[in-house]
Amino acid sequence: MAAQTAALTGLARVNLRQQALTALRRAITTGALAPGTHLVETELSEQLQVSRGTLREALRQLQQEGLVSAGPRGWLSVRTLGAPEVLDVFAVRAALESMAVRTLSRREDRAAVVTALRERVRAMEQVVDRPLEDRVEADLDFHRALCELTGNATLLHTWQALEGSIRMSIMWAGTERAVSNMRVDRHAAIVDVIDAGDVTAAVDCVQAHMDEAAANLVS
């Protein structure tokens, strides 16, 4: 019996709402569902093969994530992002991540944090030759880790609520403009200042990183 239980792993049972949510989020952040597209519940539920009720729950969440916006009569459409919105998103993102590095660089036991972050930087290095999609993933992993490592669950949660909008911003800007934000050395620099424990330098570094990223995207 022991041999069996060792071989058998728990089944991944994820409910339809979650699946629908993931599928929709992906469709939107990859551009498969173009901004402005009117989302008709009956159509989507048929395409995804889920009931409208289930679909609606997923749509509500996307709405709160800011990927989907509501029209006057409750009609939903894929949110249209423009330069001003992108700047807004990145301004808030900068505020959150600034707070994260301020917290991290104040910690006494930040050695472990630095180790974990360097791991992420290494992951970024390994995908420099891969398609943009993978690089974005590694980039966001790094930034998410910044929030996660603070141990502040609210911070992580808030950041993740922005994640969809961030992905949309990157997609909206297009490959050429996005790629310059994935530079590994810029991220390594952030880890270095955290390591050094210089709070103001760390905050400035992240703020600059974000300002530059936003400027690149809307340029």
Residues in touch with DNA (CB under 7 A): 13, 15-17, 39-43, 49-54, 56, 72-76
Place of tokens 């889920």: 50
- In the complex, least distance from residue 133 CB atom to DNA, rounded to whole angstroms: 27
Name 194's Cβ contacts closer than 8 Å, sequence gap at least 6: 101, 104, 105, 110, 113, 114, 117, 202
Residue 181: DSSP 8-state: G
| Closer of 79 and 135 to its own copies (Cβ) | 79
What track of x and - describes contact with its own copies for positions 28 through 57 (by CB under 8 A)? -------------------------x--xx
Dihedral of alpha carbons 191, 213, 175, 145, sign: positive
Taking the complex as a whole, how short is the minimal distance between the CB of residue 71 and DNA, in angstroms? Answer: 9
Q: What is the DSSP letter of 32?
A: S
Q: Segment 153-182, which members bind its own copies (CB under 8 A)?
A: 153-155, 157-158, 161-162, 165
Between 9 and 42, whose beta carbon lies closer to DNA?
42
Minimum Å gap between C-beta 82 and its own copies is 12
Residue 107 backbone dihedrals phi, psi, to 5 degrees:
-70, 140
Beta bridge partner(s), residue 78: 68
> At what angle are helices 16-30 and 52-65 packed, to 10 degrees?
50
| Residue 40 contact partner, candidates its own copies, DNA, none, CB within 5 to 8 A by sort of partner | DNA
SS3 state at 39: strand
Interface with its own copies by CB under 8 A: which residues?
15, 53, 56-57, 60-61, 64, 66, 74, 85, 88-89, 91-92, 94-96, 98-99, 103, 152-155, 157-158, 161-162, 165
